[in-house]
Chain A
Amino acid sequence: MSTPQVEVTESLDTLGSGAGGEASYGRPKRAGVDTTHGAILYLDSISVVFDGFKALNNLSLDIGVGELRCIIGPNGAGKTTMMDVITGKTRATSGTAFFGQNYDLAQLSEAQIADIGIGRKFQRPTVFENHTVFENLELAMKANKNVKSTLFARLNSTQRDKIAETLDMLRLTADQQREAGLLSHGQKQWLEIGMLLMQEPLLLLLDEPVAGMTDAETERTGELLNELRGKHSLVVVEHDMDFVTQIAQGGKVTVLCEGSVLAEGTMQQVQEDQRVIEVYLGR
């Protein structure tokens, strides 16, 4: 139990200087991940080949610390495969993926990758439907996740406060004792984002976070992501152009096509790019 406690004090320090309750997530760097060159994720000429089909083709990309990067692209552009490579679900056929300067993602298991600070939200919401909202957040919370410490784990008041803060931010406080399976689609998506935040990730990967959401839910999700901007590095893969415009603001947008980067720039630059227009409108 000693490791999490040390980190709790650390986050309390930032809470004092930060603004608002969510500041306990505001740890821009974690000891162990070397981000001295300003980038949290480096993908260098990654290729993934499935039975001769190139899902990713020489893809190179890097994400800066605290950046909110939107990734768009037509169906089959390799967006989800890229997420799979980063989180260890799929191994790259060639190329290298580094987290900070010092973690080679090809060497780590899914659980280890989650542990060093990469959180992933899947396309379809996957929460634990038979657990309550509170229990979902409790399971996700950053802690020593081996068998023995899990068996004897007891929530202390700092941890309870943290769950309460997250519930508040997700606007799920009133639903905390409901089974997660009973939530609406949008609420499940938020709960899943909340579960990622409980892990205190350095990098958050969000795969189509607003798919299937109502307009009001989409707008609320945009607000939520804007609240997280700067506290975490975020990668958002999305089809919904209005939503991308809402969250990208002045930040960089990457267009993927046929497994590699087609264009990169602000939303406006990308929208004016001739090749992007062809890819999107030519089909």
Chain B
Amino acid sequence: MSVMHTTIARHSSSRLYSGSTWTGIAIVVAFFACLPALNLFFPVDHPLHVSSFTVALIGKFLCYALAALALDLVWGYTGILSLGHGLFFALGGYAHGMYLMRAAKSSPEILPDFMGFLSWKTFPWFWSFTEHFWYAMLLVVLVPGVLAFMFGYFAFRSRIKGVYFSIITQALTFAAMLLFFRNETGFGGNNGFTDFKKILGFDITSADTRAVLYWVSLATLLGSLILARAITQSKLGRVLTAIRDSESRLRFLGYEPLGFKLFIWTVSAILCGIAGALYVPQVGIINPSEMSTENSIEMVIWVATGGRGTLIGPIIGAGTINGLKTWFTSVFPEFWLYALGLIFVLVTLFLPQGIVGLARQLGQRFKRIKP
């Protein structure tokens, strides 16, 4: 825990993290990188074997952690509370899902079953080129990015702030969910996309492919953490926190907040879309319930629990809450939402800085006792 505490220390030096923090990050990353290897190389009855279930579960958590990191950039640093980040996550997932649907068929020209039920004969225009993996990856970045940019431009230009902004984002993801539920929209209606078979020619269910997807997720999370840290440690990062603390003051200093908000909002949406794109092949399904309002609110709880404005905190928060959720939903499934609500209340009341804030406090107390 002492690792996390040093990461929060502010300094304007050009180094992103202190040496000891880098060591801590390297150890944690190495630990998580080993898990799929233990799954692959040790037989099932070996004590060091890690089950495929665990690998798949943690792989999923890595995607959630990336989404939480993205949300922290806008909420924790810039003070823009989004209750609609599930939309960007789902859009990234759908964009990748389009490719996976076409790769699942023996020929990319064969229509998915749901289009057959609608008695469509050809792919609609927005499915063009999705048989190409690179094009799907482009969509993963562009669709959430462009949507976020356009929505953000109008919302921020009209100076919509605070709870009003949050409600609009909530409405946006809800509206998108209703749209995607319609079969005629062309994204499989309430069943969404599932039954994926291949990714880039590899069997998507094999342990090897899953290990690679896991490692890619881990590497993307690490890369995004470094990118987010670089942004927040730059002068632009200090402008973002200034927007959070006193936007009108910043305007009188000659900054136009619109561009800064739009920048971080779009970056955040893109990262969230990438998280969704990594998530879909690992869980094997994407449907409109990913856009439900609960999902977006849960993301906010991950960030709050881990510690707003700390980057590493939301990653820990996403892991902690989802770990608890996994345990709860298998032991007391009907009580999970109550437990989640209780956690949120307790964190808000007693841990305003989240887990990272608690670790920091303990660290300081420990230092005082042991000079």
Please list the residues of chain A having a beta carbon within 8 angstroms of any beta carbon in chain B: 87, 109-111, 114-115, 119-120, 122, 126-132, 134-135, 138-140, 142, 145-147, 150-154, 195, 199
Contacts and interface: CB of A to CB of B under 8 A. Distances in A.
Interface in B183-237: 231, 234-236
B161 interface: no
Contacts of A146: 256, 259
Given A128-B249, A135-B238, A138-B235, A199 B263 contact: no
B245 A130 contact: yes
21 contacts: A110-B251, A128-B241, A128-B246, A129-B245, A135-B12, A138-B12, A138-B235, A138-B238, A139-B239, A139-B250, A139-B253, A142-B254, A145-B255, A146-B256, A147-B236, A147-B259, A150-B234, A150-B235, A150-B260, A152-B234, A153-B235
B10 interface: yes
B5 to A, nearest CB: 17
A112 to B, nearest CB: 8
Interface string B1-34: 0000000001010100000000000000000000
B252 interface: yes
B274 to A, nearest CB: 20
B179 interface: no
A139 B239 CA distance: 7
Interface in B242-277: 242, 245-246, 248-256, 259-260, 263
Contacts of B249: 122, 126-128
B330 to A, nearest CB: 41
6 smallest CB-CB distances across A and B, nearest first, come from A114-B254, A153-B235, A151-B236, A147-B259, A115-B254, A150-B236
Contact of A195 (B231, B235, B253): B253
B256 A109 contact: yes
B131 to A, nearest CB: 36
Interface residues of B, number: 25
B10 A132 contact: yes
Contacts of A139: 235, 238-239, 242, 250, 253
A139 B236 CA distance: 9
Given A111-B255, A153-B235, 11 more contacts: A114-B251, A119-B252, A129-B245, A134-B12, A138-B235, A139-B238, A145-B254, A145-B255, A146-B256, A147-B263, A150-B235
A122 B252 CA distance: 10
A138 B255 CA distance: 13
Nearest to B11: A177
A120 B255 CA distance: 14
B236 to A, nearest CB: 4
Contacts of B12: 134-135, 138
B235 A114 contact: no
Contacts of A152: 234
Contacts of B241: 128, 130-131
A119 B251 CA distance: 11
A120 to B, nearest CB: 6
A154 to B, nearest CB: 8
Nearest to B260: A147
Contacts of B246: 126, 128
Given A138-B235, A146-B259, A147-B236, A131 B254 contact: no
Contacts of A151: 231, 234-236, 263
Given A135-B12, A151-B234, A153-B234, A128 B255 contact: no
Most buried by B among A110, A138, A195, A199: A110
B238 A111 contact: no
Nearest to A126: B249
A126 B242 CA distance: 11
A111 B236 contact: no
A142 B255 CA distance: 10
